[in-house]
Structure 1
Amino acid sequence: MSNQHILIVDDDPQVRRMLRRCFEGEGYDVTEAATGDRIETAVNKADLVTLDLNLGREDGLEVARRVRQVSDVPIIMITGKGDMIDRIVGLEVGADDYIPKPFHLREVLARVRSVLRRSGSGKPNSFEDSTAIPIRFDGFELDPARRSLRAPGGEELPLTTGEFDLLVVFANHPHAVLDRDRIMDLMKGHDWAPNDRSIDNQVARLRKLIESDTRHPRLIRTVRGAGYSFTPSRLER
């Protein structure tokens, strides 16, 4: 019996009821929402979100963007729109999968299980730094033992599990150019899908936390056609 938590965001009460019964029948905890209001708070306890692209007066893509600003919780877009552009944009803003209506509940369950497996949601994270010694760079302090990041002013910055593990990988390989495949190999305990864009999403959120100018990043640089490079001016343990 699973105790993983699924947040259903859909303005159609019949769809919410159908999905709730399906998920609860498989042992998942479920929360429903008819709108994207307060979604940033609601995702805190969710292991996965099913999100309707068309929420009446709201744009589901914008709701997905807001979720991605605060969390790397997996998102499955469920929608009646079959346009390829909507699907592509949904994936680009951070959705992990996409299911068009009408759908079969067995397919929904299969995709939910697959996305949860890939994300590692609900499982202890086995990623550990080899030394667990605090790492200091450009005024920041990254503490693998406490799994915390402190800004130069001393305040603790909020990091998801994926963001923290990614930053540890970067800090352990300063100035090296790492492509997505290499990063995925180094982030033990995480499951990935082919062409997974989660790394790019996590890099974007890390930049918002540690870069003074996200348009011209200085700490996490993109090396065109090659990957990313962590380039602090100073790093010490």
Structure 2
Amino acid sequence: MAPSSAATPGYRALVVDDEVSLADVVSGYLEREHFEVVSASDGAEALRLARENDPDVVVLDLSLPGIDGLEVCRQLRTFSDAYVVMLTARDTEVDTIVGLSVGADDYMTKPFSPRELVARIHAMLRRPRVVSRLAEKTAAEPPARVFGDLRIDVSAREASVGTGPINLTRTEFDVLAALSARPGLVFTRRQLLEAVWGDDWFGNEHLIDVHIGHLRRKLGDDPAKPRYVLTVRGVGYRMGSGR
């Protein structure tokens, strides 16, 4: 899939990779799509530039000198809600789970197509419109969605269990918002990906399973007997009552 030629100008991107030639190629593709791009070759510089430039998306290599990509992502999540695409040279389940567990939204394995990377970034940046459509409120809808002890305020993008707020990444909250918007509906993986990432997203559908796992952990939901996010075997996921 080719990137859109009518990209909205004004988006900021941070490209972090110690392979300067690769960083230059990715930066060039993004600049042709009207992104404002800065690049870094190590973790410390990446965090400094992220604070200074407040990027909308970060393309982040896992293996960096000094502070590695995982630690950069952990620290980034303390002050930024930028979308993060993790780049890794190792295509293993462990790498994927660990990378997404620290707050990355998507991942790509080297070697990869820069055009595919840019297309995925465009899909992510279109997500707020998709989620807003799913989360539209009617006049009769309460200000928050309540499922037992779980309270979800979509407008404020806040969730809490009991009296304790939950620190969700943007993607985790969007998955929860999509499920809770239609609690009686069973979503397939593809339907959830389309609801959250958009219908032009492409990649491994099991990406959603990793985000569901992290979401359950943060909600305190027992995977064996979940109350909030239920697995419908052979189909997908749906919202539970919380009881």
Q: TM-score range by the shorter chain?
A: 0.5 to 0.7
Residues 1-237 of structure 1 correspond to what in structure 2 (within 5 A)? Answer: 2-13=9-20, 15-16=22-23, 19-20=26-27, 23-24=30-31, 26-37=33-44, 42=50, 45-56=54-65, 60=69, 62=70, 66=74, 73-75=83-85, 77=87, 81=89, 86-89=90-93, 90-91=95-96, 93-94=99-100, 95-100=106-111, 107-108=113-114, 110-121=115-126, 124-125=129-130, 126-127=132-133, 128-131=135-138, 132-133=141-142, 134-153=144-163, 155=165, 157-174=166-183, 177-184=186-193, 186-187=195-196, 191-211=200-220, 217-234=226-243
Counterparts of 1:113 and 1:98 in 2: how far apart (Å)? 14
Amino acid of the structure 1 residue aligned with 2:228:
L
Counterparts of 1:67 and 1:221 in 2: how far apart (Å)? 31
User: 1:12 and 1:233, CA in 2 relative to 1: closer, same or farther beyond 3 A?
Assistant: closer
Counterparts of 1:180 and 1:145 in 2: how far apart (Å)? 25
User: 1:4 and 1:140, CA in 2 relative to 1: closer, same or farther beyond 3 A?
Assistant: same
Deviation at 1:16, TM superposition (A): 4.3
Amino acid of the structure 1 residue aligned with 2:9:
S
2:83 partner SS: coil
Deviation at 1:150, TM superposition (A): 3.3
User: Identity across aligned pairs (percent)?
Assistant: 26
Counterparts of 1:194 and 1:14 in 2: how far apart (Å)? 25
Amino acid of the structure 1 residue aligned with 2:10:
N
User: 1:187 and 1:34, CA in 2 relative to 1: closer, same or farther beyond 3 A?
Assistant: closer
For these two proteins, the number of residue pairs brought into alignment is 220
Amino acid of the structure 2 residue aligned with 1:10:
D
Counterparts of 1:25 and 1:57 in 2: how far apart (Å)? 31
- 8 Å contact from structure 1 (residues 8, 33) kept in 2: yes
TM-score by length of 1: 0.66
Counterparts of 1:68 and 1:216 in 2: how far apart (Å)? 33
Deviation at 1:114, TM superposition (A): 0.7
User: 1:141 and 1:73, CA in 2 relative to 1: closer, same or farther beyond 3 A?
Assistant: same
Where does the alignment leave 5 or more consecutive residues of structure 2 unmatched?
Answer: 1-7, 101-105
Counterparts of 2:174 and 2:23 in 1: how far apart (Å)? 34
User: 1:136 and 1:16, CA in 2 relative to 1: closer, same or farther beyond 3 A?
Assistant: same
- Quote the RMSD (CA, aligned, Å): 4.2
Tell me the equivalent position of 2:3: none
Deviation at 1:4, TM superposition (A): 1.8
- 8 Å contact from structure 2 (residues 20, 41) kept in 1: yes
Counterparts of 2:76 and 2:229 in 1: how far apart (Å)? 19
